[in-house]
């Protein structure tokens, strides 16, 4: 629409009506340099627009009613449409079995059911992996904790196996199950184990602990870039599970140091890099928290 641009804003011309006392015809005399869009039904809400919004052209709907009705015409995320049309635009994805990218379509991804992967360390016994992180014996000191899919990558979280005293966790990533698998930079410090991994809104984070039973996380926003480690708290906690929900990153932990001194607690923070707070669930002898959903 275009505004009217007058030379003399508000000016009108009054012409007496013949034979009618004190009665005048009034017309605008503002001499516009631009007439502007006429303020009428044809311009503001014609029959074609009414038909498109309400499915009928009754002529009695107002623009305000049209604006109020528009949100109801927007297809909610997760809608499945059967159609022969090919002009729906890039807001629609074909239901053709392709992987839905979590980073591009996070809201849709969270609505779809997950297909669990059944993998163990033997699935990673391939030349690419062995050349990256060591020999078969070295690799077998690790136990696969979890595999998640983020964007175009599988990400595998490894902790140490119970039969090995050395803590030698790591995180690996690959664009295919059959590899090649790469070691995520910064995820294999000496004497650390990673027990669980989670993804939310572009950030990947794993939790675990070191040889001194001190709680740590490792995180990144770039899978192939450098990951950052951060100690959580100042005591002796083993991080066993991590998730994001309700505006918080949450870690389920248990105090290390022997079977008679175990306690259960939750550590939580709205920002991985910020201040973490602890919520103790039991006072003693309950063991670590192993899962959070």
Q: Give the tens place of pLDDT for each residue, 230-277.
A: 999 887 788 889 999 889 999 988 865 444 445 688 899 999 999 999
Low-confidence ranges of the chain (pLDDT < 70): 96-97, 113-142, 161-167, 255-263, 282-293
H or E element: which one contains 128?
Answer: helix 127-133
Query: 3-class DSSP state for residue 61?
Result: coil
Give dist(CA 250, CA 277) in Å, integer.
Answer: 10
Residues 6+ apart with CB under 8 A from 186: 218, 220, 226, 227, 228, 229
Phi, psi of 128 (to 5 degrees): -65, -45
pLDDT of residue 125: 45
Residues 6+ apart with CB under 8 A from 215: 207, 208, 209, 231, 232, 233, 237, 238, 239, 251, 253, 267
pLDDT of residue 171: 92
Give dist(CA 198, CA 241) in Å, integer.
Answer: 9
Q: Which pTM value belongs to this model? A: 0.53
Query: 3-class DSSP state for residue 200?
Result: strand
Angle at 162 between CA 158 and CA 163, to 5 degrees: 120
Residue 151 near residue 191 (C-beta atoms within 8 A): no
Radius of gyration of the chain measured on its C-alpha atoms: 32
Q: Where are the domains of the chain?
A: 5-72, 121-280
Strands 228-231 and 215-220, by their bridges, are antiparallel
Tell me the C-alpha to C-alpha distance, in Å, between residue 27 and each of 16, 17, 33. 12, 13, 17
Q: How far is the first Cα of the chain from the last one, in angstroms, to the nearest whole number?
A: 52
pLDDT of residue 113: 62
Residue 137 near residue 146 (C-beta atoms within 8 A): no
CATH topology of domain 121-280: Neuraminidase (2.120.10)
pLDDT of residue 132: 45
pLDDT of residue 158: 87
Strands 153-160 and 142-150, by their bridges, are antiparallel
pLDDT (tens digit per residue) in 173-209: 998 877 788 889 998 887 888 999 999 989 999 999 9
In 3D, which of 215, 210, 228 has the Cα closest to residue 277?
A: 215
Other Cβ atoms closer than 10 A to 254? 24
Residue 217 near residue 167 (C-beta atoms within 8 A): no
In 3D, which of 146, 151, 201 has the Cα closest to residue 172?
A: 146
Residue 217 near residue 252 (C-beta atoms within 8 A): no
Strands 142-150 and 32-34, by their bridges, are unpaired
């Amino acid at each position: 629409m275009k505004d009217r641009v007058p030379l003399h804003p508000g000016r009108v011309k009054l012409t007496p009506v013949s034979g009618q006392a004190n009665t005048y015809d009034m017309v605008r005399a503002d001499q516009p340099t631009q007439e502007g869009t006429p303020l009428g039904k044809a311009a503001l809400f014609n029959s074609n627009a009414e038909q498109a919004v309400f499915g009928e052209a009754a002529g009695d709907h107002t623009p305000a009613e049209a604006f109020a009705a528009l949100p109801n015409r927007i297809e909610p995320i997760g809608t499945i449409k059967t159609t022969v049309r090919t002009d729906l635009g890039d807001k629609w994805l074909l239901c053709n079995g392709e992987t839905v990218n979590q980073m591009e379509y996070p809201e849709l991804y969270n609505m779809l059911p997950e297909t669990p992967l059944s993998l163990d360390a033997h699935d990673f016994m391939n030349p690419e992996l062995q050349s990256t992180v060591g020999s078969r014996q070295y690799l077998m000191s690790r136990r696969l904790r979890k595999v998640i899919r983020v964007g175009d990558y599988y990400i595998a979280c490894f902790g140490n196996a119970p039969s090995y005293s050395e803590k030698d966790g790591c995180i690996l990533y690959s664009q295919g199950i059959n590899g090649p698998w790469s070691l995520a930079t910064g995820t294999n410090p000496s004497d650390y184990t990673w027990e669980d991994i989670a993804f939310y809104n572009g950030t990947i984070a794993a939790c675990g602990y070191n040889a001194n039973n001190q709680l740590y996380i490792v995180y990144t926003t770039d899978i192939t870039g450098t990951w950052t480690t951060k100690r959580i708290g100042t005591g002796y906690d083993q991080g066993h599970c991590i998730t994001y929900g309700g505006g918080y990153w949450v870690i389920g932990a248990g105090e290390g140091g022997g079977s008679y001194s175990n306690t259960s607690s939750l550590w939580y923070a709205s920002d991985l890099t910020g201040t973490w707070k602890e919520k103790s669930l039991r006072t003693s002898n309950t063991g670590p928290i192993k899962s959070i959903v």
